[in-house]
Amino acid sequence: MKKVWTESAPANIALIKYMGKIPGQGNRPTNASLSYTLEHLRSYVQLEAIDGEVDQWQALPAIDGKHLVTLELSEKSKQRFLQHLTSVRQGMSASTQAFLVRSGNDFPSDCGLASSASSFAALTKAAVRAICELREIKLPSIHTLSELSRQGSGSSCRSFFSPWSVWRDDGAREVPELSHLTNLHHMVVVVEEEKKFVSSSEAHRRVTSSLLFNGRVDRAEFRLRELLQALQLGDWSTATEVTWAEFWDMHALFETSRPSFGYMTARSIEVLRMVRAELWRNGLGPLVTMDAGANIHLLFNDDSLGRDSFASAQRMFATNDLRVIVSTM
């Protein structure tokens, strides 16, 4: 029987955003970022050794009897994914053994979550394990795995650590001072299901043309310190303010780039206004963030106030005919 290596990795949502890369250094961020790991939203990757020297890709429809969302990758995305396998192999000076790569996600691709973080992390884990077993060598550390993954997709390097991950110049790490803050409940308000017209790679390039990019690194670093302290002290209200300002900062960079672009729609703004007016009333509402897309991500604390707020949000969005995707609870 043919040997198959299967691995999975979770998605993550950044509260301090990675936006902007240091030119010519692969996916090296201009500023540090902080994310919460979404353990319930996972990508699965299977590798099977095949004859020949050319890797192949197929959608993975199910894993252990569980259905996955059938992926339809464009030719460009397929090539980018397989190119990462080639880079991992080269990075480990491994033979040119070809693999059939199958991949799938257990979450919809229209929920505003880039599946590139979870899928590149899962591919890195599967590729490294396969290569190490075939070469009978020891598995590298999780930090090495994360660094290898970063070269394929920047934000994927954070998916190796949980429940929180911080990515600085020297790579991503767990955040021991926030290890108590777990079981946050994640909700996405889906206002837009179309594919984005400016990719995040292009966004990383363009934001540096904005005059607001001056000072961006300092603002992100300042907010990172503020947010870490607020979360550590249980100061949820400050955490909501910092997180809110941070995603607006990133979206302002998009809008003030030359040429400018943007992802927010009228509906996104409407939802943001609703969240601020209705859910933040006691300073106990969710952390709010948006990625390079129009959908709104909410993270609720796992205490009785957080659960109440979660229930109010569900009622409010249902009344307003807004579709939500809930990944826990």
Considering the rule CB under 6 A, would residue 313 count as an interface residue with ligand PMV? no
Considering the rule CB under 6 A, would residue 251 count as an interface residue with ligand PMV? no
Of the pair 104, 154, the CB lying nearest ligand PMV is at: 154
Instruction: Answer yes or no: are the C-beta atoms of 257 and 50 closer than 8 Å.
Output: no
Size of the site for ligand PMV (CB under 6 A): 15
- Spatial distance between the Cα atoms of 274 and 263, rounded to a whole number of angstroms: 19
Contact pattern for ligand PMV over residues 48 through 87, marking x by CB under 6 A: ----------------------------------------
Considering the rule CB under 6 A, would residue 200 count as an interface residue with ligand PMV? yes
**36 beta partners:** 13, 164
Considering the rule CB under 6 A, would residue 114 count as an interface residue with ligand PMV? yes
Considering the rule CB under 6 A, would residue 36 count as an interface residue with ligand PMV? no
Token pair in block for residue 129: 């394990």
- CA-to-CA separations, 131 to 54, 114, 153, 283, in angstroms, rounded: 16, 27, 20, 50
* 195 Cβ neighbours under 8 A, 6+ residues apart: none
Minimum Å gap between C-beta 305 and ligand PMV is 27
Taking CB under 6 A as the criterion, which residues in 216-245 touch ligand PMV? none
**6 beta partners:** 46
Considering the rule CB under 6 A, would residue 297 count as an interface residue with ligand PMV? no
Distance of CA 1 to the CA centre of its chain: 35
- Kindly tell me which residue out of 223, 291, 298, 301 binds ligand PMV, with binding defined by CB under 6 A: 291
* 233 Cβ neighbours under 8 A, 6+ residues apart: none
Considering the rule CB under 6 A, would residue 288 count as an interface residue with ligand PMV? no
> Where do contacts with ligand PMV occur on this chain (CB under 6 A)?
14, 17-19, 33, 114, 116, 153-155, 200-201, 204, 291-292
